[in-house]
Structure 1
Amino acid sequence: MPSASDQTLENQNEEELNSLHSKIKSLRSVTIDILDDANRQNDQTNSFTSFASSLFSTSRHHQRTMASTSTLRQYRTIAYIVGVIVVLWLIMKLWRSGSGSVPSPHTGLEPEY
């Protein structure tokens, strides 16, 4: 039959074992979180590398295409790009100026502020 001091030591051992078990669970959880984060970062790095490779390939293809075409075609392409930018700028300018609150001349009411 175990004595009272043996029972006390056994209880203390059980408490320490439970404490260590909870610490191991916490450490395992943190380790899994770190692994998940590292995998997510690797996926982002891989997608960025893939995008950069694709962009570089497209740039090389465009460079070869422009080098093989005539000078007139290059100027025409540049003119189209500049024209599109100017048209978009004008659309944005008109859209912003048209969004203001202007009172109707027929109502005679002042706008509320």
Structure 2
Amino acid sequence: MPSTSDQTLENQNDEELNSLHGKIKALRSVTIDILDDSNRQNDQLDRTGNTFTQFTNSLFSTSRHHSRSMAASSTVRQYRTIAYIVGAVVLLWLVLKLWSFGGTRSVPPDGVNGEYRI
């Protein structure tokens, strides 16, 4: 017949074993979550890589098409196309500049909390 101290030690061992088992379950759960997240991130990176590859192919195709169309056309047409592109960029810049000026206030902030005075 086991003594009281042996029974107490056995009960403590069982409690520690149960505690260790719970920690192993938690660690396994965390490991599985990390694996799932890693797989999701790898899938996202693959999709992003495929998207960039498709974009690169499309850009090269457009560039080749543009080169062929410009080679067949006159020099005046090339200059006109360049002028349209430059004009569009300048116009877009002006619109953005005017739009950004419309949203700002000209009154400086008061020195206390950085809010604008009205």
Q: Same fold per TM (> 0.5)?
A: yes
- Alpha-carbon distance change, 98 to 34 in structure 1, aligned in 2, over 3 angstroms: closer
In structure 2, C-alpha distance between the alignment counterparts of 1:26 and 1:44, rounded to whole Å: 27
Query: Which residue of structure 2 lines up, in the alignment, with residue 106 of structure 1?
Result: none
Aligned to 2:46: 46
Unaligned 5+ residue runs, structure 2? 107-116
Q: Do residues 95 (structure 1) and 89 (structure 2) align? A: no
Residues 17 and 100 (structure 1), Cα distance of their counterparts in 2 relative to 1, 3 Å cut:
closer
* Superimposed CA distance per residue, residues 55-104 of structure 1 (whole angstroms, 9 cap, x where no aligned partner): 111112112201221344544443332221111111122223444668xx
C-alpha spacing 1:10/1:97, structure 2 compared with 1 (3 Å): closer
TM-score, L = length of structure 1: 0.71
For the structure 1 residues 2 and 99, does the alpha-carbon distance in structure 2 shift closer, same or farther, using more than 3 Å as the test?
A: closer
Specify every segment of 5 or more residues in structure 1 that has no aligned partner in the other structure, as ranges. 103-111
Q: Structure 1 74/37 Cα, relative in aligned 2: closer, same or farther at 3 Å?
A: farther
Matched, 1:10 2:13: no
Distance across 2 between alignment mates of 1:16 and 1:97: 69
- Could you tell me which amino acid in structure 2 is paired with residue 91 of structure 1? V
Which residues in structure 2 correspond to 1:77-96 (within 5 Å)? 77-96=81-100
1:22-58 residue CA offsets vs partner (Å, 9 max, x unmatched): 2112211220221122113202211221122111111
Count the aligned residue pairs: 104
**Which letter maps to 2:90?**
V
2:31 partner letter: T
- C-alpha distance in 2 between matches for 1:65 and 1:75: 17
**Percent identity of paired positions between Structure 1 and Structure 2:** 57
